[in-house]
């Protein structure tokens, strides 16, 4: 594939990128994020995460954890920006947590996915420069605090992860 693309001339390469751009919304989001075009490059990924982790229950839309995780992965591949990744990971957990608070308990697999993403978000936040961590720290604390009445060991795992990462808050 690399050899085929490398053999293209400038106009052919532009046409190929244009065709890929028109092919799907996902490709458009990828190219917008990669080239920082069109304002908020996180917006299409957040829209996908929100629709998947806080679906419209009145139209019987299902929770789609894997599709929400794929949005984060796609953003990471497009940009590789740790700050944006931390934002999307934290947003993922916020959406899933809020869904539970608004509509009640889900199931163990759902909370396992939220716990794993919460841990990933913490790890990503801790990799950021100190001055970028504080906003996320408050959001991660708010998720943990608001989850106190949710079952399946979810709240306990959030507490364990949060206080391991930020022992000074304990």
CA distance 94 to 57: 17
Which pTM was predicted? 0.88
State residue 100's pLDDT score. 96
Read off the pLDDT of each residue in 109-127 and give the average, rounded to a whole number.
Answer: 98
Mean residue pLDDT of the chain comes to 92
pLDDT tens for each residue of 135-154: 999 999 999 999 999 988 99
CA distance 55 to 124: 26
pLDDT tens for each residue of 1-58: 888 778 878 887 777 788 888 888 888 878 877 887 877 899 999 999 999 999 999 9
Phi and psi at 129, nearest 5°, equal -60, 150
């Amino acid at each position: 594939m690399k050899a085929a693309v490398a053999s293209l001339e400038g106009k052919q390469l532009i046409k190929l990128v244009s065709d890929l751009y028109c092919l799907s919304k996902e490709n458009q989001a990828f190219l917008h994020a990669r080239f920082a075009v069109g304002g908020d490059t996180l917006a299409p990924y957040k829209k996908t995460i929100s629709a998947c982790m806080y679906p419209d229950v009145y139209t019987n839309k299902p929770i789609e954890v894997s599709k929400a995780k794929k949005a984060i992965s796609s953003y990471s591949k497009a940009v590789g920006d740790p700050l944006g990744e931390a934002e999307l990971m934290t947003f993922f957990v916020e959406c899933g947590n809020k869904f539970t608070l608004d509509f009640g308990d889900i199931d163990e697999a759902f909370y396992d996915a939220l716990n794993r993403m919460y841990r990933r978000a913490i790890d990503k936040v801790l990799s950021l420069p100190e001055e970028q961590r504080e906003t996320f720290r408050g959001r991660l604390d708010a998720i943990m605090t608001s989850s106190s009445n949710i079952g399946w060991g979810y709240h306990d795992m959030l507490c364990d992860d949060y206080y391991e990462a930020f022992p000074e808050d304990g």
